[in-house]
Amino acid sequence: MDDHDADPERDGPTERFRIETRSVHAGQAPDPETGALMTPIFANSTYEQDAPGAHRGYEYSRTGNPTRTDLEANLADLENADFGRAFASGMASINTVCNLLEAGDHVVTGNDVYGGTHRLFTQVYEEYDLEFSFVDMTDLEAIEGAFREETELLWLETPTNPLMSIADIEGAAEIAHANDALCAIDNTFATPYLQRPLDLGADIVSHSLTKYLGGHSDVVGGALVTNDPDLDERFGFYQNSVGATPGPFESFLVLRGTKTLPVRMDRHCENAHRVAEFLDSHPDVDRVHYPGLDSHPGHDLAAEQMDDFGGMLSFELDATLEEAGEVVSATEVFTLAESLGGVESLIEQPAPMTHAAIPREERLAAGLSDALIRVSVGIEHADDLVADLEGAIESGLE
Ligand SMILES: *Cc1c(COP(=O)(O)O)cnc(C)c1O
């Protein structure tokens, strides 16, 4: 069943409005029966039918649920896409793209792709005879050189984690299409507020809704959006067949989160810029990785394909692994934790945390030093964030 257009009455405003307006309204309209402004949490597994087979758009909530439908329409709208599908997690949405592939197919992807994506590719799908090439995705020639006869998918992230490398989406999509492959972009770090990969030629955009789109560190979810009706139909088939769909409460939380995406992202970007400039001028900091700084190798490209530079950054302390550990443990406002994209500022040390699975030599070769620190800059007052980092560096390195 194609539930996507199950209730066109619920569709809110679309192309006529700017993204700040659409994030509040798209996919939603007051409930025609009650006038309820916010999409209700439709806590139903099943739905009444008027006659056998004659349902009113919904039969069973794995297949389709009205709260999820509104979220899917909202997300599609934000990405300027025709279709959206929500999943139980970002990994479930990435897995769904892998479901499109067959044994013997080859995938080109980035050598600094999200750790969970790397694990899914190498520890799940290589077992099913899919092959993966991991390349420097800031280098279009390296991407092109990795393509083979069997390549069906180019999977990229930009900006990447934790060095905030920038890939050329338009150039990458051209290479994929010249080789009859699909181009999928994981847009989790940028969000549709800052970057819309379908407009740049990508075929599929994937999200972890757990991060900025949810925005409050209180929900796990994923999504795929596309303009291709056949791909959308396949995604719907996998939603129903595999069953990794979000429940109505999760869908509601993300729908609530996307309403404030533009205001949150503006503050995330502004604060991250302040923090990056402070760190850049700090004598104990060797390097800051933030695409908003002129010194970042991806700065010009980011300025072109993004509307702002995002809320994520990392920096290298002139320190040992242990000293950097002291610094990330000494903050008061920044919480020592993995994940990102919530309203609260988080700090972490990739070497013993998010990137601990990578052998040290390999990690160093990839540019991830022992004293590298990653921060997800929240929406608190920038002065408090800067003072917190200043104090933590001082006490950690004393
Ligand atoms: C978190 C994340 C994922 C995985 O999403 P989950 O919701 O945790 O399953 C995928 N890609 C990126 C870039 C992420 O940051």
Our answer to whether residue 119 is catalytic in this structure is: no
Residue 86 scores a pLDDT above 60: yes
Cα of 235 from ligand 1 centre, angstroms: 18
Distance 144 CA to ligand 1 centre (A): 26
Instruction: Give per-residue pLDDT as tens, 216-228.
Output: 999 999 999 999 9
Q: Residue 204: what pLDDT?
A: 99
Residues 345, 156: Cα–Cα separation, whole Å: 26
User: 360 catalytic, yes or no?
Assistant: no
Of 384, 396, 207, 212, whose CA–CA distance to 315 is shortest?
396
Q: Kindly write down the DSSP assignment for every residue of 115-136, as one continuous string.
A: HHHHHIIIIIIGGGT-EEEEE-
Average pLDDT, the chain: 95
What confidence score (pLDDT) does residue 32 get?
Answer: 87
User: Both tokens of residue 268?
Assistant: 């995330």
Q: What is the mean pLDDT of residues 142-165?
A: 97
| pLDDT tens column, 226-273 | 999 999 999 999 999 999 999 999 999 999 999 999 999 999 999 999
Pick the catalytic residue: 186, 203, 308, 388? 186
- Predicted local confidence at residue 230, as pLDDT: 98
Which structural domains are found in the chain, ordered by start? 13-259 (3.40.640.10), 261-396 (3.90.1150.10)
Using pLDDT thresholds of 50, 70 and 90, give the confidence band for residue 11. Answer: low
* Region of poorest pLDDT, from 4-18, 29-43, 128-142: 4-18
User: Tens of pLDDT along 287-332?
Assistant: 999 999 999 999 999 999 999 999 999 999 999 999 999 999 999 9
Give the pLDDT of residue 362: 84
Q: What percent of the chain has pLDDT over 70?
A: 96
Report whether 255 contacts 70 (CB < 8 A). yes
Q: Which long-range contacts (CB under 8 A, 24 or more apart) does 146-150 make?
A: 146/108, 147/108, 147/175, 147/179, 147/181, 148/106, 150/104, 150/105, 150/106
- Name the nearest CA neighbour of 96 among 274, 245, 312, 293: 245
**Where would I find the beta strands (DSSP E) of the chain?**
83-87, 106-110, 131-135, 151-157, 182-186, 204-208, 222-226, 285-289, 312-317, 335-336, 346-348, 372-376
**Residue 307 burial (CB count, 10 A):** 16
Ligand 1 center to 339 CA (angstroms): 8
- In this prediction, residue 16 carries a pLDDT of 75
Farthest CA pair distance, the chain? 75
The pLDDT-based confidence of 365 (bands split at 50, 70, 90) is confident
pLDDT of amino acid 252: 98
Does pLDDT of 5 surpass 60? Answer: no
- Asked if 62 is an active-site residue, the reply is yes
Average pLDDT over residues 185-196: 98
| pLDDT for res 6 | 41
Burial label for 299, CB within 10 Å (0-12, 13-18, 19+), is middle
CB under 6 Å to ligand 1: residues? 89-91, 114, 116-117, 157, 186, 188-189, 208, 210-211, 220, 222
Structure confidence at residue 215 as a pLDDT band (50, 70, 90): very high
Average pLDDT over residues 164-180: 98
pLDDT at res. 65: 98
Nearest CA to ligand 1 atom 2: 208
Query: How many CB atoms lie under 10 A from the CB of residue 133?
Result: 16
Instruction: For ligand 1, atom 4, name the residue with the nearest CA.
Output: 90
Does the pTM surpass 0.85? The reply is yes
